[in-house]
């Protein structure tokens, strides 16, 4: 799974790397489910940066606070599983990060990053729920996971799908709707491009937002 990640780059750095206007956001060493997270989605055909609630609330839910709110979706089954199969053709997004966490059996956390320090963009799906009476709307998302690469496999049996530049464009292309084509990009990231760093167990508390290092 992917249950915690980081985004400590500045909005300016994100803009320069991704080539899209980014709203202001606070850096975080410990982003957890239910928080508002920075994403890029193809809204009205043009990619746009926005903030999504992390934990998918399907548009057909009767109440936003009832029912499962998946933070992850398995790449191998999203084309056949509710509620993801209805989102895959048109409601795809990128979740912006610069690292993610996994834990060993004794709850020791490790932080995974790109070797060159560049951003990571996780493949995601999103939806918008709206209250039929009040009109309140909540846009939310889930992060797609896949089998681990050689590095992550030492710690966990899943990892987020990390999309590089060419696949980012394809993932946000609303003209691509074929599930079999889309699933081809949902592969493990090259382990040679990553490194892992052991960090303090303080990060195990989702409310802790301080420095991540050991």
The catalytic residue positions are 2, 102
Specify whether the CB–CB gap between 123 and 94 falls below 8 A: yes
DSSP assigned state of 133 = T
- Angle, CA 20 vertex, CA 41 and CA 24 arms, to 5°: 90
Cis amide prior to 205 (ω within 30 degrees): no
Specify whether the CB–CB gap between 129 and 140 falls below 8 A: yes
> What would the two tokens of residue 124 be?
């995601």
The per-residue b/e assignment along 76-103, b for 16 or more CB within 10 angstroms, e otherwise, is eebeeeebbeebbeebbbbbbbbbbbbb
Longest Cα separation, the chain: 51
Compute the distance between CA of residue 46 and CA of residue 173 in angstroms, rounded to an integer. Answer: 9
């Amino acid at each position: 799974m992917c249950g915690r990640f980081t985004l400590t780059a500045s909005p300016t750095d994100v803009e320069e790397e991704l080539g899209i206007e980014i709203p202001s956001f606070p850096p975080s060493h410990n982003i957890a489910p239910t928080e508002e997270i920075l994403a890029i989605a193809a809204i009205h055909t043009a990619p746009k940066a926005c903030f999504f609630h992390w934990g998918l609330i399907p548009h057909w839910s009767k109440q936003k606070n009832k029912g499962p709110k998946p933070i992850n979706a398995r790449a191998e089954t999203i084309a056949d599983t509710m509620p993801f199969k209805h989102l895959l053709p048109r409601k795809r997004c990128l979740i912006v990060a610069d690292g993610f966490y996994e834990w060993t059996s004794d709850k020791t956390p490790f932080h995974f990053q790109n070797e060159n320090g560049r951003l990571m963009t996780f493949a995601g799906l999103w939806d918008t729920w709206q209250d039929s009476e009040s009109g309140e709307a909540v846009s939310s998302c889930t992060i797609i996971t896949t089998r681990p690469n050689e590095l992550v496999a030492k710690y966990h049996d899943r990892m987020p799908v990390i999309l590089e530049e060419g696949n980012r464009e394809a993932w946000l292309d609303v003209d691509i709707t074929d599930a079999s084509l889309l699933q081809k990009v949902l592969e493990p990231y090259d382990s040679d491009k990553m490194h892992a760093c052991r960090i303090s167990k303080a990060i195990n508390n989702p409310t802790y937002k301080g420095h991540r290092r050991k």
